[in-house]
Amino acid sequence: MKYAALWLLALALPVQAGSKIIATGGATSIEGAAGGGIVPWAVINGYASSEQWSVLAFNNNVGVDDFSLHSYGVAASYNNQWELSYTRQQFDLDTLGGELQQDVIGLKYHIAGELLYSQMPQLSAGIQYKKHRNFALPFAVGAKDDSDIDYYLAASKVYFAAVAGRNLLLNATLRASRANQIGLLGFGSQTDHSYQWLFESSAALLLTPQLAVGVEFRQKPNQLAFADEQHWRDIFAAWFINKNFSLVGGYVDLGRIAGFSEQQGYYLALEATW
Amino acid sequence: MTIKLTPLLTGLVLCLSLAACSQKPQAPDQLYQALGAQAGLEQLVDGLLQEIEQDKQIVHHFQDTDIPRFRRLLIEQLCELSGGPCTYTGATMQESHTGFQISQADFDNLVAHLMKVMQQQKIDIKAQNQLLALLAPMYQEVVYR
């Protein structure tokens, strides 16, 4: 809880936030991009509308049977168009012992469409530069590189009064990646070093303008011979307390990780935005 | 490579078909009634005008506006849009906003004010969202004209 002071500050100071409608900056995913929990969306983080700036700090925790992942970082956006993020991921091998760290620098550009206002979905393109900080273990299990870039294209749209009078957000993301377990087990393998196209998707229902429940799916590659990698999924509830503070809780199913099957557990994310 | 998309796709299709179902209109003036008919719309627009007055970012766009006329036309427009017994007699959205240099931030602020006022007046959430659905497409006729 070394960030407790930061969160208290965020709660205590109802600083003038940007003009975007509450919840339309999404939450911050584990790789630092605005989105759900595990999928980057086409939305730009924070509340910066035209010619406005926004900055945020986030702290996400995933705890499954034999592993935990702590992702934290800072991000900024401008003009509801550009999004830049820096994330440190710490992956604890609770059962095996040890920890792995990775840094992720993300950049996202809002190409076209407006989440709320256009018939066409909002479209954004992004890159995630990932650099592993403890590559000995990923190398030992067959990974080829300690750093790489993911590329993605995301489409998001809010459909008003779509389900039981509530607004529905649908998102689809196509990612090109060589990452094993999002990069925590390095990139590529000795035998296969080509990019794969991966499909990711989220649906979130806004029960109120500040409270959403949703589901996510993230297709995963399976390149390392030593252990199977499976698709990820989660269900979540997100509470946008105000424009300065949001809280996401969820249940994740990460499938098989490094030989440990049925990795399921909690997801908890806090975010402070200015 | 097996991709277990079936549950997801089933979910999406279910959502979309539910979406289609829920948009089936009941009565032509169902939304107008849910917004409180004429009295409700007057209250809504008065609330909105109060919010605009307090908003330094957008209030300057209204400095030369004939407020009583603006109020009457906005009520009329919301009445017609929501299926009420009115005919909007004002200019098109594009005509009435050209030259004002309305930014996305200005538009966002107005939407936020409308949402706040609808919540304060305890309008049914479905009606709130249905009204937003009708107003959202006006973005392209209003912003950066």
The predicted pLDDT at position B126 comes to: 97
With CA atoms as reference, the chain A residue closest to B124 would be A165
Task: Give dist(CA A202, CA A40) in Å, integer.
Answer: 9
In a domain, B130, yes or no: yes
pLDDT of the residue at A135: 94
Residue B2 maps to a domain:
no
Binned at pLDDT 50, 70 and 90, residue B27 comes out as confident
B7 falls within a domain: no
Give percent above pLDDT 90 in chain A. 89
**pLDDT score at B7:** 56
Cross-chain residue pair B105–A160, CB shorter than 8 Å: no
Are the beta carbons of A50 and B103 separated by less than 8 Å? Answer: yes
State what percent of residues in chain B have pLDDT above 90.
74
Which of B8, B106, B132 is closest, CB to CB, to A160? B132
Task: Give CA angle at A147 (A146, A152), nearest 5°.
Answer: 140
**What pLDDT sits at residue B1?**
39
Tell me the C-alpha distance between A47 and A24, whole Å.
Answer: 8
Fold exhibited by the domain A4-273? Porin (2.40.160)
pLDDT at A8 (0 to 100): 62
> Average pLDDT for residues A251-257, to the nearest whole number?
95
Contact predicate A81/A44, CB 8 Å = yes
The model's confidence at residue B145, banded by pLDDT at 50, 70 and 90, is: confident
Output the pLDDT for position A5. Answer: 64
Between A199 and B145, whose confidence is greater?
Answer: A199
Place of tokens 């990069």: A183
Task: Tell me the C-alpha distance between A180 and A142, whole Å.
Answer: 10
pLDDT for A227 equals 86
Q: What is the mean pLDDT of residues B3-14?
A: 53
The DSSP secondary structure of A51-101, one letter per residue, reads: T-EEEEEEEEEEEESS-EEEEEEEEEEETTTEEEEEEEEEEE-TTT--EEE
pLDDT in tens, A119-161: 999 999 999 999 999 999 999 999 999 999 999 999 999 999 9
CATH number at residue B46: 1.10.490.10
User: What b/e readout covers A174-189, taking b as 16+ CB neighbours within 10 angstroms?
Assistant: ebebbbbbbbbbbbbb
The pTM for the full model equals 0.89
Is residue A191 scored above 90 in pLDDT?
no
This complex has an ipTM of 0.90
Q: Is residue B6 part of a domain?
A: no
Neighbours of B73 (CB within 10 A): 17
pLDDT of A190? 87
Per-residue pLDDT, B2: 43
CB contact under 8 A, A49 and B137: no
Q: Which residue has the higher pLDDT, A130 or B96?
A: A130
pLDDT higher than 70, residue A31: yes
Q: Which residue of B has its CA nearest to A167?
A: B129
Is B133 part of a structural domain of the chain?
yes
Instruction: Please state the domain count of chain B.
Output: 1
Confidence band, pLDDT 50/70/90 cuts, at residue B12: low
Q: Cβ(A103)–Cβ(A130) under 8 Å?
A: yes
Of B3, B57, B125, the CB nearest to A165: B125
With the C-alpha atoms ordered B75, B80, B81, B84, is the resulting torsion angle positive or negative? positive
User: Which pLDDT belongs to residue B17?
Assistant: 52
Residue A139: both structure tokens together: 């190398």
- Residue-level pLDDT at B10: 56
DSSP H or E segment with residue B119? helix B104-120
Query: Cβ contacts (< 8 Å) between B140 and chain A: which residues?
Result: 117-118
Tell me the average pLDDT across B103-107: 96
Can you give the residue range of the structural domain that contains B57? 26-142
Tell me the nearest-neighbour CA distance from B66 into chain A, angstroms. Answer: 26
Q: Å from A2 to nearest chain B CA?
A: 34
- From the list A118, A165, A215, the residue facing B139 with the nearest CB is A118
- Give the separation between CA B144 and CA A124, rounded to whole angstroms: 21
Residues A51-70: tens digit of each pLDDT: 999 999 999 999 999 999 99
What Cα–Cα distance (Å) separates residue B92 from each residue in A17, A127, A248, B114, B138? 32, 41, 42, 20, 10
Q: A263 — phi, psi (to 5°)?
A: -85, 105
Q: Cβ separation of A19 and B12 shorter than 8 Å?
A: no
- Tell me which chain A residues have a C-beta less than 8 angstroms from the C-beta of B111: 21, 116
Query: Side-chain half-sphere of A14: how many Cα atoms within 13 Å?
Result: 2
- In chain B, which residues touch A (CB < 8 A)? 1, 3-5, 8, 11-12, 15, 18-19, 22-23, 57, 103-109, 111-112, 115, 119, 124-127, 129-130, 132-133, 136-137, 139-140
Tokens of A257: 């990780």
- Residue A15: pLDDT above 80? no
Nearest CA in chain A to B18: A163
Cα B76 to Cα B97: distance, rounded to the nearest angstrom: 17
What mean pLDDT is reported for chain A? 94
Contact B111 A166 (CB under 8 A): no
Please state which of the ranges A7-11, B35-39, B85-89, B99-103 shows the lowest mean pLDDT.
A7-11
Q: Output A191 or A52, whichever has higher pLDDT.
A: A52
DSSP letter, residue A222: -
């389900």: which residue's tokens?
A: A163
What does the DSSP assignment read for chain A?
-TTHHHHHHHHH------SSPTTTT-EE-TTSSEESSSSB-SSPSSS--TT-EEEEEEEEEEEESS-EEEEEEEEEEETTTEEEEEEEEEEE-TTT--EEEEEEEEEEEEEE--TTT-SSPEEEEEEEEEEES-THHHHHTTEEESEEEEEEEEEEEEEEEEETTEEEEEEEEEEEE-BSGGGTT-EEESS----EEEEEEEEEEEEETTEEEEEEEE------TTS----EEEEEEEEEEETTEEEEEEEEE---BTTB---EEEEEEEEEE-
pLDDT value at residue A100: 96
Pick A19's closest partner by Cβ from B15, B18, B105. B105
Per CB-CB distance under 8 Å, the chain A contacts of B57 are 19
Chain A residue with CA closest to B114: the answer is A21
Which residue among A114, A160, A219 sits closest to B129, beta carbon to beta carbon? A160
pLDDT higher than threshold 80 for residue A38: yes
Shortest CA gap B130–chain A (Å): 6
* Alpha-carbon gap: B117 to the closest alpha carbon of chain A (Å): 13
Residue B19 resides in a domain: no
pLDDT band at B6 (very low <50, low <70, confident <90, very high): low
Structure tokens at A5: 């002071």
What residues in chain A have their Cβ under 8 A from chain B's Cβ atoms?
18-22, 49-52, 80, 114, 116-119, 159-168, 170, 199, 201, 203, 208-209, 215, 217, 219, 222, 231
